[in-house]
Structure formats: C-alpha cells, structure tokens
Amino acid sequence: MTANQQELHKHQQTPPICPVGETDCGIISEVAELRQNLAELSSLVRTDTLTGIANYRYFLQALEQEIERTQRSGQPTSLIMIDIDFFKKINDQWGHEVGNQALIHLSRLLQQIVRKLDIPCRYGGEEFAVILPDTHLAACLPVAERIRQGIEKSPLTVAGQPLPMTVSLGISTYTDKQKTTVEDLVAQADQYLYQAKESGRNCICHAQLTSVDIVTTEEKQALSELFGSGTTKKD
C-alpha cells in the first residue's frame, strides 16, 4: 500500500465528528458520502476498467516507487512483461467480445498466481506487466514460469469449448548499482519479450544470471527444473 493509499485508508477509517455536537448530524452524512466518492474516484484513476487490475498510469507510478525503494534499501526490483500469443487471431476468429473475455481471464489468473507483494497491471492492449518488489532475477524466474504454466493450463471457455491461450514473457531486473530509468527497465523487459516471441512464443527470455543474483537452494532447484523444461531462454 502506497503512502497516499495509507493516508486515504486512515481517513476512511476515522469516523467524522459533528462540529455542532449533534447525534444525528447531516454534516457527518455529507462527509461520509464525500469520502466514499473520493475512494471510488481514487480506485477509478488507478484501475483498468475492463480487467479490474492496475492500469498503465498506476503501473508507472508503482514502478517508479519501487525503483526509489531499491535505491534506498539495496533490494532489487524485477519486472515481467507479458504478451498474449496470437491475440489478433483470437479477435479475428471469435470477435472482440471474446478478446475482451481473454483479457479478463488472464487478469484473474495473474491475480491468483502472483505473490501477495507483486503488482499485476495491464500495460496496454494484450500486454500485461507484473512488478516484483524486493526480488532478484533468480527469484523472479519461478514466478514467471508459474504464470506461463498457469495460463497454458487454464484455457478460456467459449461456447462450452476450451480456447487455449499461451503467453510470452520478458524479464528485467533493477539493482541499486544501475543508473536505469523506468523507461529503460520497461524497454529492456520488452526487448526480452520480443526475443521470446521470436523464439517461438510460450517461453520466457531474460538476462544471464550473474554473481549478483543470490540463489537459494530452493531457487536452484526451481531453476534446474525450468532450464530442463526448455521454457526459459537466456540472453
């Protein structure tokens, strides 16, 4: 929760006090209604209206905040860019309504799959993003693979029939030793996403793991399984 969200939440939880000391106070009702309207407006500003997850505007704000947090704490921030494979074919064959259903379906899967601290967003069109705070590349890879597998194994149902979906993913990671902007981090992840598309789709592309990436025993096992499956590709 951001500082602004915490402040808004605090105000929402604090009961208003009638300035004239009345038990049944019209001013209190008006203040409560204004607070509710403010909460709804705040949600609309940061939420994608179709999918219900964070929108592009909030994505940029959240990623900027996580980069600043990395600069203060030294803990890396990772970014996964996700694109639905052959989405145009879905629209052309089934129509835009089914295309919208596919976007909603993927958004719900992302919310179910990612960790509580991660921030799933709709970047635009059929492209999505997940911000992973306090996460180095080695820890990001298992999350990305869960996303890839989860979507592949959960087809959208259309007219009672399964409509298979797959995604391509690109990963970039920001550390406090880099002089990288939000735009640079997104561009790097997008470049790896493009490589995933060029490599046959339904896979993950990322930079080479380095000594900077701290790998735990569990992560080593996960990485071994990932590399063995042939679903991840290194630069």
| Per-residue pLDDT tens over the stretch 189-220 | 999 999 999 999 999 999 987 655 555 555 55
- 37 and 68 in a common domain: no
d(CA 198, CA 65): 32
- Residue 222's pLDDT band (boundaries 50, 70, 90)? low
Say whether both 33 and 132 belong to one domain.
no
Domain shared by 77 and 28, yes or no: no
Q: Is 126 a catalytic residue?
A: yes
Q: What tokens were used for 198?
A: 């060029």
Q: How far apart (Å, rounded) are the C-alpha atoms in residues 198 and 168?
A: 10
Residue 16 domain-assigned? Answer: no
Of these residues, 68, 126, 152, 183, which one is catalytic? 126
Are 135 and 206 in contact by the 8 Å Cβ rule? The answer is no
Q: Are residues 42 and 71 in the same domain?
A: no
Residue 132 has pLDDT above 50, yes or no: yes
Pick the residue with more confidence: 43 or 47? Answer: 47
Per the CB < 8 A criterion, the answer to whether 110 and 132 are in contact is: no
| R_g (Cα) of the chain, nearest Å | 21
193/219 same-domain check: yes
**Domain assignment present for 82:** yes
Count of domains for the chain: 2
Q: Which tens digits make up the pLDDT trace of 74-86?
A: 999 999 999 999 9
Let me know: does 233 contact 198? Beta carbons within 8 Å: no
Q: Does residue 51 form part of some domain? A: no
Mean pLDDT of 15-39: 56
178 has pLDDT over 60: yes
DSSP 8-state class, residue 109: H
Query: Which range of residues forms the domain containing residue 31?
Result: 3-11+21-46
Q: Find, among 182, 180, 175, 179, the residue nearest to 212 by Cα.
A: 175
Q: Answer yes or no: do 40 and 113 share one domain.
A: no
